[in-house]
Amino acid sequence: MDKQPVEQAVFTSVKTDGASGYRVVAGSAGVGEADARELAAWGPSHDSMIDPDPEAESFNFHPLPSGAYCVSRSLTVGGAYRDGGRRVYTHCLIVPPETLARFGNNPFSLIRATSNQGLWGGDDPADPLLDPLWLPGGAAPVDEALLTLLATDPGPENMAALVQAARDAVCLAVGGTPSPASLIAGLFGCLPPECRLEFSFSTGLKFSPRRPFRVVALSGDPAERCWVAGYSNVAVLELRSGTAPRSMPLDGWGQLVRRALAAGQIPFLAAQVSKRRFNLSLDDLPALGLQLQEGLDALEMGGRRPVGSAAAPPPAHSAHAAHRRFSKSDTTASTATAASHRSTCFDLSSPEVLNKLEHLDDVVYEAINGQPGAIEQLQAAWPRLLDELGEEMVAESREQYLRYALSIWGECADADGIRQSDRAIQALDVLCLLFGETA
């Protein structure tokens, strides 16, 4: 997988040649002018930190005009200004989408990797021209250990309320326990990677209308809380263990999060969140949540169904009903599902299985989109992966590939109804290979 450099920049206030004020004072050569202007627009000035402690820090995330994303760390440096405020130093990483994808589209995983490698800066740069950084490796899409902690504090009801409120609000100010940073990280863990980039955030900067983060930390200052709550487009949510959140209706996805955390089915939730679903959007989550709850029902029943009930495979692990001819016979599929549904859910949580499924996703996507050599790679890899993973494990993946191919066929029709045959044929060739048909 290609490794791209991560450009970097520093936004702070430094006196140079008689000039002063907050601006981008240093950056690597790949930082474009439009991105630099955006960094300045989002960047915090002095006295912007919620916590005045010199050791406090804020991690921030927002999009950039180039299509990259800014992942930054802000902290106070130096002495206090005359008005009592302190200078804020923000180290910005300009992260390509491909790099962020290696970390599950989770900025917190990338933040952790940057911290582990000691790459965050805090000193005024001696040279305005910085070298780009390299962030090798990646991370699993979901931090199950974090979700386990959050299932206890603040608890399933509160986490479900957080997921619902963040999706419903233009801007959500969140506070409580364990900390805004942990709560926001937990929010990302409860969302599919395809939907995470919709949520810009700050974990420790004071709310400011000129910094339009979608999720922000809530200050402990009562006066500032009142000021923030006064904005018509800002929702305020405070979460504490043992205290029920304010009443709000939960859609299918919020219900899934609440049920999975309450039942201790975090591996199931992590496995479902981690699956790649092409073209998934926030608007799709309510219906997807309802569908996945049926799989959760089956899991909680131990894989057994009541006598006399239909023995169809659970939606989370079967091919789409409208395309049943692509699956095994009903009898074979039903028998396999009843015997192995519990083990399927368990296996899906293992990094080895997830890596294989993600590799399959990558090859299928590249083959459908006509990348040179991809169809040959898929022809070589598919029999091996099918043998290693089994029919039940890849059933939903094939369903997603079918849906993606159908969307490609729809996009290939222009206003005159003329189809771009090359893309349609590529998608058909891939489906014939995956479903064992001959074109």
Q: What is the pLDDT of residues 132-163, one digit of tens each?
A: 999 999 999 999 999 999 999 999 999 999 99
Q: Is 292 domain-assigned?
A: no
| pLDDT tens, residue by residue, 296-350 | 998 888 754 333 333 333 333 333 333 322 233 333 333 333 333 333 443 455 6
Q: Do 116 and 164 sit in the same domain of this protein?
A: no
Mean pLDDT across 410-432: 69
Point out the domain boundary residue: 262, 293, 322. 262
More confident residue, 398 or 149: 149
Question: Who's near 157: CB < 8 A, 6+ residues apart?
Answer: 244, 245, 258, 262
pLDDT at residue 289, rounded to an integer: 97
Backbone angles phi, psi at 32, to 5 degrees: -75, 165
Q: How confident is the model at residue 82 (pLDDT cuts 50, 70, 90)?
A: low
More confident residue, 306 or 266: 266
pLDDT at residue 344, rounded to an integer: 40
Q: Is 272 domain-assigned?
A: no
Spatial CA neighbour of 196 closest among 185, 209, 204, 211: 185
Q: How far apart are CA 191 and CA 199, in angstroms?
A: 10
Q: Do 243 and 316 sit in the same domain of this protein?
A: no
pTM comes to: 0.74
**Alpha-carbon 374 to chain mean position:** 26
Q: Residue 36 pLDDT more than 50? A: yes
Q: How far apart are CA 287 and CA 253, in angstroms?
A: 8
Q: Do 166 and 41 sit in the same domain of this protein?
A: no
Q: Is 51 domain-assigned?
A: yes
pLDDT at residue 317, rounded to an integer: 36
Q: Do 58 and 82 sit in the same domain of this protein?
A: yes
Q: Do 310 and 251 sit in the same domain of this protein?
A: no
Spatial CA neighbour of 167 closest among 59, 289, 322, 11: 289
Q: Is 278 domain-assigned?
A: no
Q: How far apart are CA 231 and CA 214, in angstroms?
A: 14
pLDDT at residue 412, rounded to an integer: 65
Mean pLDDT across 210-230: 94
Q: Do 169 and 213 sit in the same domain of this protein?
A: yes
pLDDT at residue 348, rounded to an integer: 52
Q: Do 55 and 14 sit in the same domain of this protein?
A: yes
Point out the domain boundary residue: 206, 238, 262. 262
Q: Is 385 domain-assigned?
A: yes
Mean pLDDT across 363-392: 86
Averaged pLDDT of the chain = 84
More confident residue, 83 or 217: 217
Q: How far apart are CA 239 and CA 164, in angstroms?
A: 13
Produce one character per residue of 387-400: b if its CB has 16 or more CB atoms within 10 Å, e if not: eebebbbbbbbbbb
Produce one character per residue of 249-264: b if its CB has 16 or more CB atoms within 10 Å, e if not: ebbebbbbbbbbbeee
pLDDT at residue 373, rounded to an integer: 86
Q: Do 430 and 325 sit in the same domain of this protein?
A: yes
pLDDT at residue 333, rounded to an integer: 35
Mean pLDDT across 34-46: 96
Point out the domain boundary residue: 262, 278, 313. 262
How many domains are there within the chain? 3
Q: Do 119 and 171 sit in the same domain of this protein?
A: no
Q: Is 100 domain-assigned?
A: yes
Q: Residue 357 pLDDT more than 90? A: no
More confident residue, 122 or 73: 73
Q: Do 174 and 220 sit in the same domain of this protein?
A: yes
Q: Do 156 and 93 sit in the same domain of this protein?
A: no
More confident residue, 303 or 51: 51
Q: Residue 19 pLDDT more than 80? A: no
Enclosing domain of residue 115 = 7-130
Q: Residue 239 pLDDT more than 90? A: yes
Q: Do 34 and 106 sit in the same domain of this protein?
A: yes
Q: How far apart are CA 404 and CA 420, in angstroms?
A: 16
Q: Is 38 domain-assigned?
A: yes
Q: Is 39 domain-assigned?
A: yes
Pairing of strands 171-176, 57-63: unpaired
More confident residue, 67 or 277: 67
